[in-house]
């Protein structure tokens, strides 16, 4: 089932944020901002820390775009906190500043249709929510395939460009490049016809 164009399933869960535990982290508290919500399989694994560090490295770019980054996995909030306190050179994610939500009972992953039931972990799903909490973009990678954080930024830019200018963004579009009106004349103009 596709969640595109639908209100993102809300949740309230425990989360680790920097060195703190948040007992009632609510997705709906982030309305009014864009949200990149991403799922990863497990703490203390292999591809996962590369992704979490990559999002942290670009966190300032997301913030410039009024976009919150929120990560979710099936681990407990205690595991998240331990991983946040583990140095990078030991496989940890020390220095990650955005929230790590605990989906210990697997309901969030199930609601977003990324749960691998027999393994009890989430696929590498990523969802872009607008300021009203509507999902505009989703990608899902299998467990061994890491995602591209620059692509997540590009999609945020494309959504914001469309909202601000009313023009659609063609394949491989990047901020500052030519967009088009969503009609035949716009297409002809785009291709120089």
Identify the band that residue 90 occupies on the pLDDT scale cut at 50, 70 and 90.
very high
DSSP string for 43-112: TT-SHHHHHHHHHHHTHHHHHHTTEEEEEEESS-HHHHHHHHTS-GGGT--TT--S-EEE-TTSHHHHHT
Residues 6+ apart with CB under 8 A from 77: 14, 15, 16, 21, 100, 102, 104
Query: For residues 174 and 153, is the Cβ–Cβ distance under 8 A?
Result: no
| Per-residue pLDDT reduced to its tens digit, 101-139 | 999 999 999 999 999 999 999 999 999 999 999 999 999
Choosing from 16, 48, 69, 156, which is the catalytic residue?
48
Identify the band that residue 193 occupies on the pLDDT scale cut at 50, 70 and 90.
low
The answer to whether residue 169 is catalytic is no
Q: CB 65: neighbour CB atoms within 10 A?
A: 16
Is pLDDT of 170 > 70?
A: yes
The mean pLDDT of 27-35, rounded to a whole number, is 98
Sign (positive or negative) of CA dihedral 123, 129, 135, 137: negative
pLDDT in the model for residue 27: 98
Delineate the domains of the chain, giving CATH numbers in brackets.
12-146 (3.40.30.10), 148-193 (3.30.1020.10)
Average pLDDT, the chain: 97
């Amino acid at each position: 089932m596709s969640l595109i164009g639908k209100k993102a399933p809300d949740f309230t869960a425990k989360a680790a944020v920097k060195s703190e535990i948040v007992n009632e982290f609510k997705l709906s508290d982030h309305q009014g901002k864009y949200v990149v919500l991403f799922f990863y399989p497990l703490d203390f694994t292999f591809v996962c820390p590369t992704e979490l560090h990559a999002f942290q490295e670009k966190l300032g770019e997301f913030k410039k775009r009024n976009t919150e980054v929120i990560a979710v996995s099936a681990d407990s909030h205690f595991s998240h906190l331990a991983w946040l306190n583990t140095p990078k050179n030991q496989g940890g994610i020390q220095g990650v500043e955005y929230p790590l939500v605990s989906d210990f009972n697997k309901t969030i992953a199930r609601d977003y249709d990324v749960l691998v039931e027999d393994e009890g972990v989430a696929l590498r799903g990523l969802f872009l929510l607008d300021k009203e909490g509507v999902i505009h973009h989703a990608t899902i990678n299998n467990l061994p395939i890491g995602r591209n954080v620059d692509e997540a930024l590009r999609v945020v830019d494309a959504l914001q460009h469309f909202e601000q200018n009313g023009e659609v963004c063609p394949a491989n579009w990047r901020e500052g490049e030519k967009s088009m009106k969503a009609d035949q004349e716009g297409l002809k103009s785009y291709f120089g016809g």
